[in-house]
Amino acid sequence: MAQETFAFSSSALRSLRLQRELLEREDRRRALARESATRRFQPEPPRPPRRPQYCRDPTVHNALYTGDLLRIKSIFKDETTTNLVMETVSEELVWEPEQGLWVLSPRRQQTSALRIAAGRGYSDCARHLLLRGAEVDAVVGGRAPLHDCAAAPRPDCARLLLAFGADPNVLSAEGAAPLHLCTAPDSLACAELLLAHGAQVNLGTRDRQVTALHVAARQGLVAHVELYLRHGADPARRSRQGETPLNAACAAAERPEDAERFCRVAERLLAAGADPGAAGRKDHTPLHNACGNGQPRLARLLLRHGADATVPNCAGYTPLDCALHAVDEYRHQRPEETIALLLDHGAGPVHPKMLKFCCRHPPALEVVLNAYDRIPPAESWVGAVPPELWQEHREFYTSAVRMAGQPRRLQHLARCAVRRHLGARCHLAVPKLCLPPPLRHYLQLPLQGTLS
pLDDT digits (tens, 9 = 90+) for 252-278: 999 888 899 999 999 999 999 999 999
Q: Judge whether residue 323 has pLDDT over 60.
A: yes
Q: What is the mean pLDDT of the chain?
A: 90
Identify the residue with better confidence: 128 or 93.
128
Local confidence band at 9 (pLDDT 50, 70, 90 cut-offs): low
Tens of pLDDT, residues 130-157? 999 999 999 999 999 999 999 999 999 9
Q: Judge whether residue 20 has pLDDT over 90.
A: no
Q: Are 101 and 153 in contact (CB under 8 A)?
A: no
At 103 the pLDDT is 67
Local confidence band at 2 (pLDDT 50, 70, 90 cut-offs): very low
CB-CB neighbours of 420 under 10 Å: 13
Backbone angles phi, psi at 220, to 5 degrees: 70, 35
Nearest to 430 by CA among 438, 364, 287, 306: 438
Domain spans, the chain: 52-169
Q: What is the mean pLDDT of residues 411-438?
A: 93
Q: Judge whether residue 115 has pLDDT over 90.
A: yes
Burial of 21 (0-12, 13-18, 19+ CB in 10 A): exposed
233 conformational bin, left if phi > 0, alpha if psi -120 to 50, beta if neither: beta
Q: What is the mean pLDDT of residues 149-178?
A: 97
At 135 the pLDDT is 96
Tens of pLDDT, residues 205-260? 999 999 999 999 999 999 999 999 999 999 999 999 999 999 999 999 998 888 99
Tens of pLDDT, residues 301-322? 999 999 999 999 999 999 999 9
At 100 the pLDDT is 75
Tens of pLDDT, residues 183-202? 999 999 999 999 999 999 99
Identify the residue with better confidence: 6 or 70.
70
Tens of pLDDT, residues 64-81? 999 999 999 999 999 999
Q: Judge whether residue 49 has pLDDT over 70.
A: no
Q: Judge whether residue 413 has pLDDT over 50.
A: yes
Q: State which amino acid sits at residue 311.
A: V
Q: What is the mean pLDDT of residues 280-294?
A: 94
- Which numeric CATH code is attached to 52-169? 1.25.40.20
At 14 the pLDDT is 66
Local confidence band at 1 (pLDDT 50, 70, 90 cut-offs): very low
Percent of the chain with pLDDT over 90: 79
Tens of pLDDT, residues 21-34? 677 767 766 776 67
Nearest to 294 by CA among 264, 339, 236: 339
Backbone angles phi, psi at 361, to 5 degrees: -130, 95
Q: Judge whether residue 281 has pLDDT over 90.
A: no
Provide CB contacts within 8 A for 134, sequence distance 6+: 76, 79, 82, 83, 112, 113, 114
